[in-house]
A and B are shown apart, each in its own frame.
Chain A
Amino acid sequence: MSSVWPRLEPILPRVAKPARYIGGEDGAQTPEHHPAKVAWLLGYPDTYEIGLPNQGLQILYEILNERADAVAERTYAPWSDLEAELRAHDVPLFSVDTHRPASDFDILAFNISAELTYTNVLAMVDLAGAPVRSADRCVDDLFIGAGGHCTYNPEPIAAFLDFVVLGDGEEAVGEISEALAAWKARRAAGDEVTRLDALVALAGVTGVYVPALYEADQDADGRLLGTRSVHPAAPDEVEKRTITDLGEWPYPKNQLVPLTEVVHDRLNVEVFRGCTRGCRFCQAGMITRPVRERPADQVRTMVADGLRRTGYDEVALTSLSTADFSGIEAVVGGIVDGDVPSRPDDDGGQGPGTSLDCGGGMGGLASDISVSLPSLRVDAFTVGIAAEIQRARRTGLTFAPEGGTWRMRQVINKLISEDDLFGAVESAYSQGWRRMKLYFLIGLPTETDEDTLGIATLARKVVEIGRRHHKNPSVTISIGGFVPKPFTPFQWFGQNTREELARKVGLLRDELRRDRGVALKWHDPKATTVEGIMSRGDRRLAPVIEDVWRHGGTFQEWSEHFDLQLWLDALDRNGLTVEELVYRHRLEDEALPWDHLSAGLHKDFLWQDWRDALDEVGLEDCRWTPCYDCGACTGYGIEHVVASAVPPAGGSQGTGRPTAVPVTLGSRPMATTS
């Protein structure tokens, strides 16, 4: 086998954090490549620290390596110092598993979760030795694929991608492997095969979008008229993939344990997929429907086995709005108390007398284990359990009210009353928490300055409550500029200008200047603007993204590398404006760049929900109430997989009833990172 390691090794002492490039994680595989197998290089277009924990990538890594017809390894974006060294020494992009060059693989497939990583995709494709544009690739070149939430509007990067997978990848990667293995076999047998033959075969896989087989029509001003299939093999509308039973996919079975520090450095167990709370700003909640819970027993087994295998002392139960998991209380309590399936006797590991006071099983571990529930709705029960589960390490609590006033929260369908929030905060402070974080969005539809300043009012009241319990309570207000996303009711909304977002940040800064105990943090409005360019952009953006990359604009989600001017100059050179792409409200009858793709949601459902938003009308969670026919279930003949027929304590949102507040223990709620 070929390896770039001998050439990489002398470079590594000169670069920052070289442990990012060595692999060697517990759970890493060294698959056996074979000409008949389809070799996948799974890439995350950001640093190792950000990309390694990505669950989607780890799930596909295992599923592919279990197949007889495929192998999979991993790669991450080399930081700029290593990229310069690789280029200087003519070393290509490599896998961290066996340090094979990218050219040893058939497919380089990216998980794309953030718009600002698009230029990194180009950098990695180029480092891999493939032409960055799909049209320039020949029969010997890598196939470049992508999946992940950003690919629900892949049009800005369509020119660089050979195929896109919409939705759950568990089944699709197998079918893609089969399609490509057949193409490779024909080629190996001496048949005259073209790259187009392979693309056509890929287009036949449900959920796979092959951009080259579609054309976008524009009017005289360049505005999109529609995107249509130009090949009989390409369906008029590409439907997302949805796995019906999460219980059939207990992955990752061997979560990777990195040798160096990464984000979310803990065991992660996905407890359900999908969310029907219906927050209108949240793309994740719209595109991952319906709700599919993992059986509670399987969760317990995955937690117990995972903790034992990895040695982690923290486990996160991941999903959107995790407290909605049926029986969450019992599952969390069981983990904290160590009441999990006991270890099967293994004679090799522990002889008699090797350890004392452990009591066998998880007894010795139990008190050390902390449980994180990213995106947890707080009510009386959850704060109580929060005190319990965080007893090992009590850090901060994060709440995500998102809107500063009741009116604003009605618009975004996150109906949390002030009493709910203050009640939860009171409970948390009384349980010993001192630091509170509150997440808000600014630039939401219909937002007034009263709504914006409502954020400051809420913050002050939270500090006041804290003072009843502690001398110096601290509240961090974290402000993000809202970016409208495809397949949400807000997809028609014109994003706030960066000047307007900066003004609103300024309003809050001025308002909170004298408040001790309140710290204000905000996401750079300039970065929000660039995210907006790509969130709802179309194929005209390909030359813009390529231009930014060619001018050195990689790692744009890192503030030390982000450069708005690169983007504005590139737009200018291509005759495009931020006003047209980002700030403009879309019309009801206007073609959207993702109209030929389907997340299962009916467009008229989304439009109605948009009108309801403007009318400040909420919508209840359909898990426990009648169906609104959004399309996510009915279109595929599937249903919610929910063990409990009733909502968790605290009730559902959208009713105006006293209800729960979402809370995150330790990290940013998933609902706001979409």
Chain B
Amino acid sequence: MSRIRIRFTKRGKVRFTSHRDVARIWERTLRRVELPVARSQGFSPRPKLHFGLALSTGHESDAEFLDVDLVDGASVDLDTLPARLTAALPGGLAATAAAEVDPSAPSLQHAVTSSRWEIEVLDLDLPTLQARAEALLAAPELVMVRQRKGKDVTDDVRPHLFTLQPTTPLDGGALLVAELGTLGRALRPSELLTLLGEEAREGKVCRTHQFTEHDGTRSEPLAAPTDGPPPRAAATAAALADRPSPAPHAEARAS
């Protein structure tokens, strides 16, 4: 059996579809391009697709990933696959890269350690946003009560706060580039917003990267093509080059 990994983007109106909706869209799309997808056994065989971290309904992304198991002996032209997939996907969803991956490697859900986000922050001016972001990064711990599976849980979310880079997008306002840890009970962008103060409202949110760490080397599960969409903020490009400064007790997050 072989496995291929697909990188895709989710932009525009289609961002209002749910993670589950996108999974169903992918099932149909893979059938439309007649990809020889392996299927599970049993009474209700399903195509063997493995999705990465769920993206909240309403958020955009340039860095979504999907692993697809192929039937034995199948071979696929990976060079043309992204274009064929994009043509079969609904508007707003586009495949940007495809590559074969080792089926025995850890799943996307386990391998990804952090996501980088561009978060449009409404009703907060840039200096205030900068001050609050600095305060959050300076805090030794950030205990918050969150809902998980219908229950209130109390966590220190500081270990999930890798970097916070307030900046000004091209069209004005305040944009926060944040890298947030994803292992364990991850910190969601909407939860980060609540830490920034009551008046801070969430505007558009876009996941720009997901990162894995292997033997101290950071990389994306599958790199975006070099001629991808330009970053939305001038400052973002600079921020990307920075190594994230790990949180004071980042070691604890893996538990």
Q: Indicate if the CB atoms of A364 and B36 lie closer than 8 Å.
A: yes
A365 close to B36 (CB less than 8 A) = no
Distance in Å from the Cβ of B198 to the closest Cβ of chain A?
17
Docked CA distance A313–B46 (Å): 11
- A13/B58 in contact, CB under 8 A: yes
State whether the Cβ of B156 lies closer than 8 Å to any Cβ in chain A. Answer: no
Contacts of B219 in A (CB 8 A): none
Pairwise interchain contact B31-A356, C-beta atoms closer than 8 A: no
B73:A309 contact, CB within 8 angstroms: no
Contact B34 A355 (CB under 8 A): yes
Q: Which of B17, B21, B30 has the most CB of A within 10 A?
A: B17
Interface size on B, as a range, is 35 or more
Map CB proximity to B onto A9-39 as digits: 1 under 8 Å, 0 otherwise: 0001100011101111110000000000000
> B76 touching A354 by the CB < 8 A rule?
yes
Interface contact A24-B92, CB-CB below 8 Å: yes
Please determine whether A311 and B28 come into contact, CB atoms closer than 8 angstroms. yes
Complex contacts, B39 vs chain A, CB 8 Å? 368
Of the listed stretches B83-91, B108-116, B131-139, B230-238, name the one at the interface; the rest are far from the partner chain: B83-91
A355 interface neighbour in B18, B44, B76, B90, Cβ under 8 Å:
B76
User: In whole angstroms, what is the CA distance A369 to B64 when docked?
Assistant: 29
Given A22-B16, A259-B17; A311-B29 close (CB under 8 Å): yes
Closest to A343 in B: B34
**B interface footprint on A258-277 (CB within 8 Å = 1, 0 otherwise):** 01110001000000000000
Q: Does B147 contact A (CB under 8 A)?
A: no
A13, A25, A351, A356: most-surrounded residue (chain B CB, <10 A): A13
Task: Assess A312 versus B28: contact at CB under 8 Å? Given A259-B21, A354-B77.
Answer: yes
Q: When A and B form their complex, what is the total count of cross-chain residue pairs whose Cβ atoms lie within 8 Å?
A: 95
Contact with B along A412-423 (1 / 0, CB 8 A): 000000000000
Q: Is the CB of B13 within 8 A of A355?
A: no
Residues of A within 8 A of B28 (CB): 257, 310-312
Interface members, chain B 188-236 (any A CB < 8 Å): 202
4-35 of chain B: CB within 8 A of chain A: 13-14, 16-18, 20-21, 24-25, 27-35
Q: Is A358 an interface residue (CB 8 A)?
A: yes
Please tell me if the beta carbons of B32 and A356 are within 8 angstroms of each other in the complex.
no
Question: Chain B: which residue is nearest A360 at the CB level?
Answer: B34
* Given the contacts A24-B90, A260-B18, A358-B36, A351 and B44 also touching, CB distance less than 8 Å: no
Tell me if A354 and B80 are in contact (CB < 8 A).
Answer: yes
Query: Is the CB–CB distance between B16 and A357 below 8 Å?
Result: no
Chain B, residues 155-168, CB within 8 Å of chain A (1/0): the string is 00000000000000
Bound form: Cα–Cα A259–B80 in Å: 25
Contacts of A313 in B (CB 8 A): 27, 31
The answer, yes or no, to whether B74 is at the interface (CB within 8 Å) is yes
Given A311-B29, A393-B44, verify A356-B75 contact (CB < 8 Å).
yes
Question: CB of A328 within 8 A of chain B?
Answer: no
**Chain A residues within an 8 Å CB radius of B32:** 308-311
Question: Given A261-B24, A311-B29, A349-B84, are A23 and B13 neighbors across the interface (CB < 8 Å)?
Answer: yes
Q: Flag if B58 contacts A12 (CB, 8 Å).
A: yes
Query: With A18-B58, A368-B31 in contact, is A394–B18 under 8 Å at CB?
Result: no
Q: Which of B74, B80, B81, B202 contacts A357 (CB 8 A)?
A: B74
B14 touching A351 by the CB < 8 A rule? no
- Please tell me if A350 contacts chain B, counting CB pairs below 8 Å: yes
A97 CB to nearest chain B CB (Å): 12
Q: How far is the CB of B76 from chain A (nearest CB, A)?
A: 6
* Binary contact readout A291-330 vs B (1 if CB under 8 angstroms, 0 otherwise): 0000000000000000011111100000000000000000
A327 to nearest B CB, angstroms? 27
Query: Which B67-104 residues have C-beta < 8 A from chain A?
Result: 71, 73-77, 80-81, 84, 88, 90-92
Q: Does A392 contact B (CB under 8 A)?
A: yes
In-complex Cβ contact of A24 among B58, B80, B91 (8 A): B91
A26-B90, A358-B34, A364-B34 known; A311-B20 Cβ under 8 A: no
B contact residues around A393 at 8 Å (CB): 43-45
Determine whether B107 belongs to the interface, using a CB cutoff of 8 Å to chain A.
Answer: no
| Interface residue ranges, A against B (CB under 8 Å) | 5, 12-13, 17-19, 21-26, 257, 259-261, 265, 308-313, 349-351, 353-358, 364-365, 368, 392-394
Closest 10 CB pairs of A and B: A311-B28, A311-B32, A18-B16, A311-B31, A22-B13, A19-B17, A354-B77, A13-B58, A260-B21, A19-B16
